[in-house]
């Protein structure tokens, strides 16, 4: 009803079935008062060949081309049945030069428009030379068409058939597919309607099987009499296959836009590197195992996954004063959302803060594999103007060791098959401590060298794979993962405490 109230809308199609009859009557009354057209309820819509369609009528693009609905013909067609209208479009494409306009008024007891409404319109459309009607038993709609033929309101040839003649074979009243398709009396039977249409001047076949033949005969006579001048068929461009249909039929292969090798969500349950969610939930798996599956694409041994969890736990936070936490706190106090707070902290991670794990692994591995003595390695880095990553701490020193480093070293010495690179880093630390008490191994250096030992000693990775892991940032990724836990904690803490906007105190700024 809202659509009918719009002044710019003249035609609506009600596709839905089961519309309450009271509502339908209101639609019909309003449309009649305001010179508007209602197709349906329970309609597939209508179309004007070569122009447009409303609703779902005519089906797929392939069917539209097959029925020559891409250009206008000379036939006006109207039916109650949507399914049969699609079939008749195919019939008309074979028997005539095709459809000009086709309407399915719907199969409900009270359709928004009638067969005769559309036939009267077709009478006034010059390009329509032949009217084809497909009715059905039940109701009296076809009799309004009979009256229009008798009174001469419709003078164009009308070929008609009312389906449902088989209802006479049943002993009792039969309800066919549509709500209105039941014969309540003799006058509503298909036989009586066909007879009335024929008596009024419509061309009616003996059965539906003869419908196409009599349509063709009538059309050919119109051509012979010069009322229709068939036009040569235009070349129809090949209609590309619908992509989804072609994929389903195996006729095309669509280029992939994303390649993923770590998980698959297409089955009944997601998998992490071919391990199902059920297995992860019911088996002896933990967060370290999930990281090993998604990051390293392998099931690492338990000592390795436990080490990964230790790194996450030990690196989750390091207080509110470090760069990442400070940025997160300032952002949270500015009223930003959680993701913005987290990102502001993560963006501080780099060579000077938390991002030295990869570099520590890279430099220590290179020096150890080349057989450099600790003093050679340190002095060579000094000559190049590069600080040894993984060595040095602003607070910790020889007499005040980083407890995190001690815990990781203790675990590795107990469970790792080999600690070759950690041992080398400790030798380097011994040399650097001779220069300054704070040049101790920090947590970056410890994690970096121990990961090298884990990768090499597990016998699960080739030398090339180890080099790639270090190169593309796996180890820094572990720090990012761990520290995200703490940064989120700081953001939530500031919001929970309802801390005001942060402003740095003047007395802590050197103005020059």
Instruction: Return the active site residues.
Output: 178
The CA angle 84-89-94, to the nearest 5 degrees, is 125
Under 8 Å between Cβ of 487 and 345: yes
Three-state secondary-structure class, residue 69:
coil
Token digits of residue 449 = 């060298």
Residue with tokens 């933990």: 286
Under 8 Å between Cβ of 101 and 48: yes
- State how far the Cα of 185 lies from the Cα of 209, in Å rounded to an integer: 25
Instruction: Kindly give the residue spans of alpha helices, DSSP state H, lying in 370-500.
Output: 374-383, 403-415, 420-432, 443-457, 463-471, 474-496
Note the Cα 135 to chain centre separation in Å: 42
- State how far the Cα of 72 lies from the Cα of 128, in Å rounded to an integer: 10
Under 8 Å between Cβ of 471 and 495: no
Q: Which long-range contacts (CB under 8 A, 24 or more apart) does 151-155 make?
A: 153/120, 153/123, 154/119, 154/120, 154/123, 155/123
Give Cα separations from 263 to 277, 291, 309 (angstroms).
11, 12, 21
């Amino acid at each position: 009803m809202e659509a009918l109230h719009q002044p710019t809308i003249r035609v609506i199609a009600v596709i839905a079935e089961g519309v309450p009859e009271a509502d339908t009557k209101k639609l019909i009354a309003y449309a009649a008062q305001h010179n508007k057209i209602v197709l349906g309820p329970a309609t597939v819509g209508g179309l004007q060949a070569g122009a447009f369609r409303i609703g779902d009528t005519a089906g797929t693009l392939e069917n539209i081309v097959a029925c020559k609905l891409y250009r206008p013909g000379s036939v006006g067609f109207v039916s109650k049945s949507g399914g049969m209208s699609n079939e008749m479009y195919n019939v008309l494409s074979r028997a005539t030069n095709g459809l000009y306009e086709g309407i399915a008024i719907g199969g409900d007891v009270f359709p928004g428009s009638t067969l005769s409404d559309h036939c009267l319109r077709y009478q006034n459309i010059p390009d329509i030379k032949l009217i084809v009607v497909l009715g059905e038993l039940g109701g009296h709609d076809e009799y309004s068409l009979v009256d229009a033929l008798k009174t001469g309101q419709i003078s164009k040839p009308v070929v008609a058939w009312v389906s449902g003649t088989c209802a006479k074979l049943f002993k009792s009243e039969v309800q066919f597919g549509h709500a209105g398709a039941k014969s309540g009396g003799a006058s509503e039977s298909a036989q009586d309607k066909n007879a009335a249409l024929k008596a009024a001047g419509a061309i009616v076949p003996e059965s539906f099987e003869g419908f196409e033949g009599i349509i063709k005969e009538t059309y050919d006579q119109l051509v012979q009499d010069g009322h229709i001048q068939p036009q040569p068929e235009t070349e129809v461009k090949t209609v590309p296959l619908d992509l989804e249909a072609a994929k389903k039929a195996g006729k095309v292969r669509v280029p992939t836009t994303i390649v993923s090798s770590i998980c698959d969500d297409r089955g009944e349950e997601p998998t992490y590197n071919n391990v199902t969610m059920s297995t992860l939930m019911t088996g002896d798996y933990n967060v370290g195992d999930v990281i090993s599956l998604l990051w390293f694409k392998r099931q690492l041994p338990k000592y390795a996954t436990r080490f990964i969890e230790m790194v996450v736990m030990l690196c989750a936070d390091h207080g509110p004063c470090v760069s990442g936490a400070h940025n997160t706190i300032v952002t949270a106090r500015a009223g930003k959302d959680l993701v913005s707070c987290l990102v502001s902290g993560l963006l501080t991670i780099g060579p000077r803060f938390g991002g030295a794990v990869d570099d520590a692994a890279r430099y220590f591995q290179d020096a150890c594999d080349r057989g450099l003595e600790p003093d050679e390695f340190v002095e060579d880095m000094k000559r190049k103007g590069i600080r040894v990553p993984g060595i040095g701490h602003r607070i910790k020193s020889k007499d005040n060791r980083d407890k995190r480093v001690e815990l990781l070293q203790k675990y590795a010495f107990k469970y790792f098959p080999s600690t070759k690179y950690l041992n080398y880093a400790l030798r380097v630390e011994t040399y650097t401590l001779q220069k300054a008490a704070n040049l101790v191994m920090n947590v970056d250096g410890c994690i970096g060298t121990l990961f090298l030992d884990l990768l090499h000693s597990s016998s699960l990775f080739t030398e090339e794979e180890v080099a790639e892991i270090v190169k593309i940032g796996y180890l820094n990724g572990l720090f990012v993962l761990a520290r995200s836990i703490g940064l989120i904690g700081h953001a939530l803490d500031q919001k929970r405490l309802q801390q005001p906007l942060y402003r740095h105190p003047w007395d802590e700024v050197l103005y020059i």
